[in-house]
A and B are shown apart, each in its own frame.
Chain A
Amino acid sequence: MLSLLRTIWLVFLHLFHKKATIEYPEEKIPLHPRYRGRIVLTRDPDGQERCVGCYLCAAACPVDCIALQAAEDENGRRYPEFFRINFSRCIFCGYCEDACPTYAIQLIPDVEMAEFHRQDLVFEKEDLLIDSEGKYPGYNYYKIAGITAGVKETGQGANEEPPVDVHSLLP
């Protein structure tokens, strides 16, 4: 009995609290930069696709809603030939972002993805790729990787020595 009255009293007090609901869509919700919303594929500082088609995001995805195919250009640079996310399955857990070794796949603070048809929630690379580095500016995986991929010469990467002269026996 006492708790019932107490509850009614608390609800009554809420009449004088600040309103939690907002006039969406006129008014936008404030989302933090690390909010896990819409998934995008970003570009590196040179404006090239960051994704190297390593399949780690697809493997990490608990609902298996990422499918892609890796391809290689004439310089040996890997990129995804297609990259598909089925957002009707995605649970926005962000595991793909955690798994991505190149900062390519990122979840951004945007939740406006509703569609009338489920089929329209299937996004291809063209729908995912944005012209930005996203949350992690400055990172260029191929500058650090051991392969040249047309980005650098052998031994010119970050933290690399010039290539070994195999004819030399000097220490």
Chain B
Amino acid sequence: MPTIYIDSKPYEALAGKNLLETCLGLGIDLPYFCWHPALGSVGACRQCAVKVFKDAQDGTGRLVMSCMEMVKEGMRASVSDKDAVAFRAQVIEWLMTNHPHDCPVCDEGGSCHLQDMTVMTGHDYRRFRYKKRTYENQNLGPFLHHEMNRCIQCYRCVRFYHDYAGGKDLGVFAAHNHVYFGRETSGILESPFSGNLVEVCPTGVFTDKLLKEHYTRKWDLASAPSICQHCSLGCNIFTGERYGRLRQITNRYNSEVNGYFLCDKGRFGYAFVNDVNRVTRPLLRNQTIEAVDEAPLMKTLREMLSGEELIGIGSPRASIESNFSLIQLVGRDNFYQGLPEYPAYLSGKVAELVQSGALYVPSLKEIEASDAVLVLGEDIWNTAPVMALAVRQAVVRTAAAQAGKQSGLPAWHDLAVKEATQEKKGFLANLTVCPSPLDEEAAFSLRRAPDTIARLGFAIAHAIDPSLPSLPDISTAMRSIVNSIAGALRSAQHPVIISGVSCYNEGLIKAACTIAAALHTIGLRAGVAYVLPECNSMGLALLHAPSFDNATARVLSKPGVTAIILEADIYRTVAEKEADAFFDACKHIIVLDSMHNRTTQKAHALLPAAAFAETDGTIINYEARAQQYFQVLAPQQDIRASWKWLGKLKGLRAAAGNGQQVHPDEILQQLEQALPAFKGISRVAPSPDFRVHGQPIPRDPQRYSGRTAILANLTVSEPRPPQDTDSPLAFSMEGYPGIPPPALIPFYWAPGWNSNQSVSKYQQEPGGALRDGDPGVLLSGQAVLRLTGEEKPTAPPLFMDIPEAFEAREDRWLLLPQVHLFGSDELSSYTPGIRRLAPQPYIGLGEADATALGVIEGDDIFVWLEGKACSFPLAIRKGLCPGITLLPMGIPGIPVPQWGSWVKITLSEDAEEIRCPSKIF
């Protein structure tokens, strides 16, 4: 650790860092614009100038950009030197010569890095008397508002959008003092990571269009730490509330998970919480007035529960607290999943592997640091977007790190490293069913059927460890690819294999594990990440409940069962016929959900469940990382957390009727005791009675306004704010004003740092872990072993059951789901912008199949599902292997088919079965 002197005071600094991040890490305020911890330094804005001196005798020194200066032993620098201060003041004055008089109507205001830096440098009055430059703005689609006049030309936007996220359609136009940041023409930004521009841009050029619809300043938002609910990665987010509505989602830093960035589904997919389709009152069906009050509701529920046999259907999008409360209510033997047999089996398999302790499951950060990535089948761009972003960094960074090592450049020296790297890339092999934007970065991208990809996976394992079974029938061309991939994995230091369940193929899961096992024999610890469909799929899978098919069999064989269905629309996962059969056989149906859907229509009693922003809960991500989200909204009307409802039902069922309230942390403790797989989960966040110096953690910032006026129209004597007994957070601006434990940070703010850039004050060092460690508890087998200190690198299990090669059939197509980032997820699709970007129903076929059928893009063709012909326009999927057809998953208007089954495709509704002659492979 070099010792450096800043303004003559000695400090310990981290070697290899630049002076700017060192200063920020030491708590010294220094203004900057173009540097970003995830993007590195380019020295473009000239705002971070400091003086550096040759030695203790040097009184003159020289001005340098601190972001471009590496710390060295004995370095002497001055932040407060008067030349440096004057230089910085001048730079910001220049930047502001063209800046519009916009703060009052600018959505960035109050969380604006430019405001903060202007105040920090002391520039207050405009001396420049000439005219201001102006620009025309563009319409960038449903998520981002564009206001180019506010730009200060720091280049962060393109460096994120283009360099970091790989987007193609945002660039720099024109020259010198009138450069323009935007698209070539108005149009929807293509990258699903575009929403990050809101936070990356230090000014109000890119602002959140959803926030604009109900605009609230950051200082007026009550905020809470939360977890994204729209895929299995569990990105950390902040939720912001005002006037009882959810208003904004912003990134919450977690160095192990999402770092600084979210995907647009996570950032903008929250509109369902405010939607009119919410269930707000308990309903009892077949009554004149269906919405009921507590007393009649409880009476009916007591009747439904007493004496009847109960079964519960758990949910992959409800918290583990709710799922476990359901288990406590119905008993473990009566708890099922709302998934058909095969997908339930697949996620159970994944959970088993992750739990076993033999598999090393990498975090997103570890994936980012990997030097060889193999994707087996899973379309991660659509099923796990931020993981795709991490994989992209793995590819771009490994090469950069190598180039940097050769030329002695530090990793943060962005431009120089890029020059040194040129076109070199890290290793990625993307073996998937359909093309993906990740292919651009891939050394190998292949389009094959899932079975074939699984076989290639086994072939790769054989190429690594020849003692494993070989696949003699692979073509020579293929073999050379297999050998190159195997070679790249062997020579890597941190290889990562990614697969998942969205292909409905067990072979892929086994192949990924087998490759890791093969790498284990040559002493390499390979990471294996399995992507699951929903935010708490892992949590549900760890409960190892039987599938929906078993539940149906049970109610059919024994009528008179009361079914309790927890936050799941069965009609989205199970074919209509089967779901109907189940519901018809149940005597009573109690449904808990937040949105009205087809399942809630079947309910005899419907209980309004809280959405994620209205309650506390814990969900478990793909790597078995349990993370807690906290309530930010006081639920309206009769909405209550599912685990609270279920606790009440338990009270009804117990004759004594002790419906006493439990807290989420008590449920977690009971869960730990009941199921050893969840050992440690109660450490996920401090308990509700946690206090700092006797004070709770306030959700409202200190500048929160309107306390005595918000409800004054209803009653002028202010009612008491809602009391939160479930968490250490308070619905108030009173409480501990300092930095709370990482799991409880409700927003980022520091004196003088109003924007989200204040996150550096919460980190151990800029870009590092949060102080006291990142929140969340790993439940995976390896993590448990690591914790108990008995980690022995056990070998991942080997699988020998290699699937048969895929062969196209004469008259049937293998039906696979195409997951769409926008549209396939149930809850996020309530956001109008996401609905707009979601695809219309289609039937996807490869080029060869389309030619053979004699149809072109857009022609209506028929796919036979459950004996019925459904007509959708044809969408030609480039590279899709013949014999496979795709339907978009979760898009309204398409009946839920049996994925992975063989279906018929015809050109007309009553056409004879046509034969497809293109069966070449």
Contacts and interface: CB of A to CB of B under 8 A. Distances in A.
A83 to B, nearest CB: 10
Please classify the interface of chain B as helix (H, G, I), strand (E, B), loop, or mixed, using the class held by over half of its residues.
loop
Given A59-B219, A147-B147, A169-B174, A164 B709 contact: no
Most buried by B among A84, A141, A157, A164: A164
Interface string A29-63: 00000000000000000000000111110110101
Contact of B102 (A88, A124, A147): A147
Interface in B666-702: none
A110 interface: no
A147 B149 CA distance: 8
A161 B706 contact: no
Interface stretch (B128-136, B158-166, B772-780): B128-136
Contacts, number: 144
Interface in B204-218: 212, 214-217
B713 A163 contact: no
A78 to B, nearest CB: 5
Interface in B694-718: 703-710, 712-713, 715-717
A168 B109 CA distance: 32
B709 A146 contact: no
Given A67-B709, A101-B104, A122-B716, A146 B133 contact: no
Interface residues of A, number: 52
Interface string A88-121: 1100000000000110000000000000001101
Interface in B65-100: 99-100
B136 A146 contact: no
Nearest to B705: A58
B150 interface: yes
A53 B215 contact: yes
Interface stretch (B175-183, B232-240, B477-485, B602-610): B175-183
Nearest to A61: B705
B708 A65 contact: yes
A146 B705 contact: no
Contacts of B103: 54, 101
Nearest to B99: A146
Contact of A84 (B102, B104, B219, B713): B713
A154 B705 contact: no
A131 interface: no
A145 B708 contact: no
B105 interface: yes
Interface string A128-171: 00000000000001001111010000110101111111111101
Contacts of A160: 131-132, 134
A69 B214 contact: yes
Nearest to A58: B705
A146 B132 contact: yes
A90 B215 CA distance: 25
Interface in B113-155: 131-137, 147, 149-150
B756 to A, nearest CB: 19
A6 B119 CA distance: 57
Contacts of B241: none
B132 A161 contact: yes
6 contacts: A67-B712, A146-B100, A160-B131, A160-B132, A168-B174, A169-B175
Interface of B: 99-105, 109-110, 131-137, 147, 149-150, 173-178, 180, 182, 212, 214-217, 219-220, 243, 703-710, 712-713, 715-717
Interface of A: 52-56, 58-59, 61, 63-72, 78, 84-86, 88-89, 101-102, 118-119, 121-122, 124, 141, 144-147, 149, 154-155, 157, 159-169, 171
